Structure 1
Amino acid sequence: MKVQWQGVMPAVTTKFSPDDTLDLKMFRVNIEAQLNAGVHGIILGGTLGEASTLTDEEKRILIQETVKIVAGKVPVIINIAEQSTHDALVAVQRAKEYGANGLMMLPPMRYKATDRETVVYFKTIAKSTDLPIMIYNNPIDYKIEVTLDMLQEMMACDNIEAVKESTRDISNVTRIRNRFGNRVKVLCGVDTLALESMLMGADGWVAGLVCAFPAETVAIYELVKAGRTKEAIAIYRWFLPLLELDISPQLVQNIKLAESSTGIGTEIVRAPRLPLEGTERKRVLGIIGESLKTRPGLPPYKDFTQGT
């Protein structure tokens, strides 16, 4: 399946059982909720997927299970966030064998690579595979910025097709579009800037709170693409207190608690992460509870004819 790099792509959480094994039953419940809402792809093993805690065998199971659940309806993307080029090359090869349709790639982790090291890393991986790649540009959290000049160098690799834009600089959407036109697809990677990014021309949204509120997330995207901006803004204003749970070091705990509250997940995280407790847990539950009380009705967004 060809990846279009547009629409809403949930960065799904990994579901765990109390005994710290994969909870594939609840994982299926959530993926099916995403599909029913009309998402345009599934991204596995990102920050929300607690990728750094997953074994290679667990990644295999998650990819193959997701491919089975989606049954060709949407592409399956796996995040590559390895510590070495060798390990990344192995992970990419396995991802293709397991049935992934595309890759989301972080720069090398744990230390701040130079611009040259980062570009060579991405190009080396891209040349090793025919899977399409979305570069994850998140200098706030991962301390490495993929600049436009670096991205220009990567354009020698035809399968580097998209950028997950998480710089928090809304103008970067326009900068990328001005520099590369439609050669590079742009997906917003920050929930609290998603509507603004799409209004500035972003092609889609790699979303977090979609894990708990899939229909509302897809509705915003479809409304924007249909030119019904006023309706999209109304839902987005209701959504913002929830979306702000995504821009926190405890985003995994926050979003899993929201998933649990909407019945399509649990709040179980893998150590060293711990569930929220005390005042912070009460605060987050208050935000979720108030949002559920005021949850808006949605228009028949699946019926909209999207623009190109």
Structure 2
Amino acid sequence: MKMNWAGVMPAVTTKFTEDDQLDLDMFSTNINAQLEAGVHAIILGGTLGEASTLTQDEKQILVQHTVDLVDGKIPVVINIAEQTTKGAILAAEQAEKYGAKGLMILPPMRYKATDYETVAYFKAVAQSTSLPMMIYNNPVDYKIEVTLDMFEELLVHDNIQAVKDSARDITNVTRMRNRFGDRLRILCGVDTLAMESMLMGADGWVAGLVCAFPRETVAIYELVKAGKIKEAKAIYRWFMPLLELDISPQLVQNIKLAEVATGIGTENVRLPRLPLQGKERERVMAIIDEGMRTRHTILDLVNVKVNV
């Protein structure tokens, strides 16, 4: 299966039971809802997936289980967030062995690498694998920016093909398009900037609230691509208070609460995370409750389908 870096790609949550085991039944329920909505890939092992808390055995189980679930319909992409180049290369090898079709990769974790070190890190991983790669550019949270000049160096590798851009600067899309044309596929990595990014030429959306609202997320993408901006805007405006739950240190807890509301998840998180408490929980629940209350008013707009 050729990796097409376009469309809606959920960065899915990992489901746990109340006794802190993998909840593969609920995980399957969610993945099946994503497939039914028409998402274009599944991304495992991101922040939303609580990957830093998973054992290697659990990661292997999740990858292989997801590959079996999607059954060749869409690709499975694995996020790599390692502290060392050696660790990242090993993670890429394991991802390929377990059946992944693509990699999303962050700069080295817990070390503010120089531009030279960051480029060398990405190149080493690219040279170690045949899998196509998407660079995750998130200078806001991870303090390292992958600049246009750095991408120029990286694109000499045929398997470095895309960027998940979370720089929170819409003009970045235009700068990348002007510099690289279609050599670099662009996916928005910030829920609250997704429609704007796609209107400026982004190829897709690595999404968070899609975990709870897959149909609405896919509908926005498809309506934008079909030029039905008025319809897309109506859904996006309804969605915005919910999308803002993604830009929070507690995004995992927020989105898992939303998954409970739509029946495709549980609230269980893994320590050190804990479920939301007190006034913050009340605030988040009020946003989710209002979104659910008004959801029926936009469902007629959700059924538009176009080809990517």
Please state which band the TM-score falls in when normalised by the shorter chain: over 0.9
What is the rounded CA distance, in whole Å, between the counterparts of 2:302 and 2:240 in structure 1?
21
Instruction: Indicate the RMSD between aligned Cα atoms, in angstroms.
Output: 0.9
> How far has the Cα of 1:300 moved from its partner?
6.0
What is the rounded CA distance, in whole Å, between the counterparts of 1:192 and 1:44 in structure 2?
21
Q: Which residue of 1 aligns with 2:271?
A: 271
Q: Which residue of 2 aligns with 1:149?
A: 149
Say which SS state the counterpart of residue 255 (structure 1) adopts: helix
Q: Which residue of 1 aligns with 2:300?
A: 298
Mapped contact 2:44–2:79 kept (Cα < 8 A) = yes
1:68-217 matches, within 5 Å, as 68-217=68-217
- Counterpart amino acid of residue 280 in structure 2: E
What is the rounded CA distance, in whole Å, between the counterparts of 1:297 and 1:133 in structure 2?
35
What is the rounded CA distance, in whole Å, between the counterparts of 2:20 and 2:95 in structure 1?
23
> How far has the Cα of 1:298 moved from its partner?
3.2
What is the rounded CA distance, in whole Å, between the counterparts of 1:218 and 1:110 in structure 2?
34
Say which SS state the counterpart of residue 182 (structure 1) adopts: helix
Structure 2: unaligned runs, 5 residues or longer: none
Give aligned pairs, total: 306
Say which SS state the counterpart of residue 78 (structure 2) adopts: strand
> How far has the Cα of 1:299 moved from its partner?
3.3
> How far has the Cα of 1:186 moved from its partner?
0.1
Greater than 6 Å deviation, 4+ residue runs: none
> How far has the Cα of 1:301 moved from its partner?
3.9
- Counterpart amino acid of residue 281 in structure 1: R
Mapped contact 1:223–1:301 kept (Cα < 8 A) = no
Q: Which residue of 2 aligns with 1:234?
A: 234
Corresponding position: 1:21 with 2:21: yes
Q: Which residue of 2 aligns with 1:66?
A: 66
> How far has the Cα of 1:135 moved from its partner?
0.2
Q: Which residue of 1 aligns with 2:44?
A: 44
Q: Which residue of 1 aligns with 2:225?
A: 225
> How far has the Cα of 1:18 moved from its partner?
1.0
> How far has the Cα of 1:302 moved from its partner?
5.1
What is the rounded CA distance, in whole Å, between the counterparts of 2:63 and 2:119 in structure 1?
27
Cα deviation digits, residues 242-296 of structure 1 (max 9, x gap): 0000000000000001001111000111111111010000100000000000002
TM-score by length of 1: 0.98
- Counterpart amino acid of residue 299 in structure 2: G
> How far has the Cα of 1:234 moved from its partner?
0.5
Q: Residue 240 and residue 300 in structure 1: after superposition, are their counterparts in 2 closer, same or farther (change >3 A)?
A: closer
- Counterpart amino acid of residue 300 in structure 2: L
Moved more, 111-120 or 295-304: 295-304
- Counterpart amino acid of residue 70 in structure 2: V
What is the rounded CA distance, in whole Å, between the counterparts of 2:220 and 2:192 in structure 1?
13
Cα deviation digits, residues 196-238 of structure 1 (max 9, x gap): 0000000000000000000000000000000000100000000
Say which SS state the counterpart of residue 299 (structure 2) adopts: coil
What is the rounded CA distance, in whole Å, between the counterparts of 2:184 and 2:93 in structure 1?
24
Q: Which residue of 1 aligns with 2:4?
A: 4
Say which SS state the counterpart of residue 103 (structure 2) adopts: strand
What is the rounded CA distance, in whole Å, between the counterparts of 1:301 and 1:167 in structure 2?
31
